[in-house]
Structure 1
Amino acid sequence: MAPEVKRKISASSARSHTRKSKSVSSSRFPSGIFIKSLVVFFIGFLAWAYQAACPPPPKKLGTPDGLPITSPRIKLRDGRHLSYKEYGVPKQLAKYKIIYVHGFDSVKYYNVLATSASPALIQDLGVYIVSYDRPGYGESDPNPKQTLKSSALDIEELADQLGLGSKFHVAGFSMGGQLIWTCLKYIPHRLAGATLIAPAVNYWWPSLPANLSKQAFSELFVEDQWSLRVAHHLPSLTYWWNTQKLFPSYKAIAHSPDILSSQDVELIPKFTAGRGPIQGQVRQQGEYESIHRDLNIGYGTWEFDPIELENPFPNNEGSVHIWMGDEDKIVQVTLQRYIAQQLPWIKYHELKGAGHMFSYADGISDDILKALLLGEN
Structure 2
Amino acid sequence: MVDMRGVNTWQDELASLAENSGFQYTGEPISKMAAPPPILASTRMMESETETESLKEQVTGFLKSWGEMLVDLGKGCKDIVTQSNLVSEDSFIVQKLGKPMAKASGRLKYLNEFLPEDRDPAIAWPVILFVLLLALAAISGNSTNNSLVSSVKKMRVHPPSATRILLPDGRHMAYLEQGVPSDRARFSVIAPHSFLSSRLAGIPGVKTSLLEEFGVRLVSYDLPGFGESDPHTRRNLNSSAMDMLHLADSIGILGKFWVLGYSSGSMHSWAALRYIPDRIAGAAMFAPMINPYEPSMTKEEMRRTWDQWSSRRKLLYFLARKFPKFLPYFYHRSFLSGNHGRIDKWMSQSLEKKDEILIEGPMFEEFWHRDVEESVRLGIAKPFTEEAVLQVSNWGFSLADLNVQRKCLRNGILLWLRSMYSQEECEWAGFLGPIHIWQGMDDQAVPSSMTDYITRVLPRAIWHKLPNEGHFSYYFFCEECHRQIFSTLFGDALGPLNKMAEIDETSYEAVAEEASSITGSARK
Q: TM-score, normalised by structure 2?
A: 0.55
1:1-377 equivalent positions in 2, closer than 5 A: 68-112=159-203, 115-116=205-206, 118-243=207-332, 254-255=345-346, 259-268=350-359, 269=361, 270-277=363-370, 279-311=372-404, 318-357=433-472, 358-360=474-476, 361-374=478-491
Distance 1:280 1:148, change over 3 A: same
Distance 1:254 1:137, change over 3 A: farther
The 2-side partners of 1:154 and 1:253 are apart by 30
Instruction: Give the structure 2 partner of residue 10 of structure 1.
Output: none
Q: Which runs of 5+ in 2 are unaligned?
A: 1-88, 101-156, 335-341, 406-427, 492-509, 511-524
Shift of 1:154: 0.7
Distance 1:338 1:256, change over 3 A: closer
Instruction: Give the structure 2 partner of residue 18 of structure 1.
Output: none
Shift of 1:106: 0.7
Distance 1:208 1:274, change over 3 A: closer
The question of whether the paired residues in 2 share the 8 Å contact of 1:99 and 1:170 is answered with yes
Shift of 1:264: 0.9
SS in 1 for 2:475: helix
The one-letter amino acid paired with 1:261 is E
The question of whether the paired residues in 1 share the 8 Å contact of 2:332 and 2:381 is answered with no
The 1-side partners of 2:333 and 2:264 are apart by 24
The question of whether the paired residues in 1 share the 8 Å contact of 2:261 and 2:286 is answered with yes
Shift of 1:226: 0.7
The question of whether the paired residues in 2 share the 8 Å contact of 1:152 and 1:187 is answered with yes
SS in 2 for 1:175: helix
The question of whether the paired residues in 2 share the 8 Å contact of 1:82 and 1:133 is answered with yes
Shift of 1:180: 1.0
The 2-side partners of 1:294 and 1:316 are apart by 25
Instruction: Give the structure 2 partner of residue 53 of structure 1.
Output: none
Post-superposition Cα deviations, 1:248-276, rounded to whole Å, max 9, x if no partner, equal xxx95843686222111222234434454
SS in 1 for 2:224: coil
Q: TM-score, normalised by structure 1?
A: 0.74
The one-letter amino acid paired with 2:483 is D
The one-letter amino acid paired with 1:187 is I
Over the aligned positions, Cα root-mean-square deviation in angstroms equals 3.3
The question of whether the paired residues in 2 share the 8 Å contact of 1:75 and 1:81 is answered with yes
The 1-side partners of 2:367 and 2:202 are apart by 12
Per residue, is there more helix in 1 or in 2?
Answer: 2
Structure with more contact order per residue of length (Cα contacts < 8 Å, sep ≥ 6): 1
The question of whether the paired residues in 1 share the 8 Å contact of 2:402 and 2:430 is answered with no
Distance 1:77 1:203, change over 3 A: same
The 1-side partners of 2:343 and 2:198 are apart by 15
The 2-side partners of 1:208 and 1:170 are apart by 25
SS in 2 for 1:327: coil
The 2-side partners of 1:187 and 1:256 are apart by 31
SS in 2 for 1:112: coil
The 2-side partners of 1:240 and 1:257 are apart by 15
The question of whether the paired residues in 2 share the 8 Å contact of 1:96 and 1:128 is answered with yes
The 2-side partners of 1:107 and 1:28 are apart by 60
Distance 1:288 1:307, change over 3 A: farther
The question of whether the paired residues in 2 share the 8 Å contact of 1:178 and 1:196 is answered with no
Post-superposition Cα deviations, 1:141-180, rounded to whole Å, max 9, x if no partner, equal 1111111111111111100111101311110211112321
The one-letter amino acid paired with 2:486 is L
The question of whether the paired residues in 1 share the 8 Å contact of 2:287 and 2:438 is answered with yes
The question of whether the paired residues in 2 share the 8 Å contact of 1:233 and 1:300 is answered with no
Distance 1:264 1:281, change over 3 A: same
The 1-side partners of 2:215 and 2:93 are apart by 86
Bigger radius of gyration among the two: 2
Distance 1:119 1:71, change over 3 A: closer
Post-superposition Cα deviations, 1:289-323, rounded to whole Å, max 9, x if no partner, equal 34332211112232122234224999997311111
Distance 1:304 1:29, change over 3 A: farther
